[in-house]
Structure 1
Amino acid sequence: MTPEDLFHQGLRLLLDKDIDGWVALCDENVVIEFPFAPDGYPSRLEGRAAVADYMSDYPDHIDLQDFPYLEIHRTGDPETVITEMRATARVVSTGTPIEIPYIVVMTARNDRIVRYRDYWNPLAMPASMSDAKS
């Protein structure tokens, strides 16, 4: 499976609210980073168990509905892709619709995500999300 295929599969799982399936795409020693994480949110997760814990209640907070903009760029490293995307969703607790822009740098090896840097914009999140899991 190419990194592009793996990324697409991950998006389908997120839209299906299959968090366990998304986590299963990760290598046991995956590193996930959030370089722009606001105070109170983790900036780095190490290992599949940490990712599973962090993601476990994601659908309780954010209802992902679509990725209307998605562009995947290949890099000089065949294992790494850079993705520009925008998600549409709603905040579960309030029903507030949101759009979340992302840039993701993902490295995959042996059909698993080994590194995932998620440059999401924390300013896109409404204040009602301040009680979300951190």
Structure 2
Amino acid sequence: MTNSQAGASRAPRMVLDRYHRAMLDKSADDLADLYAVDAEHEFPFSAPGFPARFAGREAVRAGYRAAWGASPLRVKEIKDVVVHVSDDPRTVIAGHVVVVQTAAGDRAAVPGLLIIDVHDGLITRVRDYMDALAVARVAGVSGA
């Protein structure tokens, strides 16, 4: 692989593709490996009982292992991905719809928006605007 090919594989758009793949695979390790050691992952629309942020790669790994491990939901599809142009080439802004499925086979579409900052091929900051209450409703959390 040439240096330009290696750099392209770590470009923000490619990092977004790998991020989505980790979601589909429900792989906290693959997701966390995309992050810089001191990265921040923020959830501006967090729900009760869910943290507002993860500070650092290992917090992302532990947080997603716990969340995905406890969740009865499975990501079946990520569709309607729209990537918006940013003035900063290190930032990718993407809207998407995540189709989740329960163990009983019920499906729901959950809209979201990601703003991902990538420096030297690693995520340094994510602002993750997901509809956390929709996820809770689909998962059958009471009060959601």
| TM-score normalised to structure 2 length | 0.82
Amino acid at match of 1:114: T
* Identity across the alignment (%): 25
In structure 2, the partner of 1:68 is 79
Q: 1:69-124, CA deviations, whole angstroms, 9 ceiling, x for partnerless residues? A: 101112001111111100101134x5432211001111001111110001111231
Give the superposition deviation at 1:13.
Answer: 2.3
Q: Is residue 2:141 matched to residue 1:124?
A: no
Report if aligned partners of 1:80, 1:106 keep a CA contact under 8 Å in 2.
Answer: yes
Q: Is residue 2:113 matched to residue 1:108?
A: no
In structure 2, the partner of 1:23 is 32
Give the superposition deviation at 1:49.
Answer: 1.2
C-alpha distance in structure 1 between counterparts of 2:31 and 2:51, whole Å: 19
Q: Greater helix percent: which structure? A: 2
- Unmatched tracts of structure 2, length 5 or more: 1-9
Report if aligned partners of 2:22, 2:28 keep a CA contact under 8 Å in 1.
Answer: yes
Amino acid at match of 1:110: D
Moved more, 109-118 or 121-130: 121-130
In structure 2, the partner of 1:97 is 107
Moved more, 31-40 or 14-23: 14-23
Moved more, 122-131 or 17-26: 122-131
> Which of 49, 61, 74 is the equivalent residue of 2:58?
49
Q: 1:34-72, CA deviations, whole angstroms, 9 ceiling, x for partnerless residues? A: 001022110111001111111014155120111121011
Report if aligned partners of 1:91, 1:129 keep a CA contact under 8 Å in 2.
Answer: no
Q: 1:37 to 1:51 in 2, by over 3 A?
A: same
- Unmatched tracts of structure 1, length 5 or more: none
Which structure: larger Rg?
2
In structure 2, the partner of 1:87 is 98
Report if aligned partners of 1:74, 1:82 keep a CA contact under 8 Å in 2.
Answer: yes
C-alpha distance in structure 2 between counterparts of 1:129 and 1:26, whole Å: 31
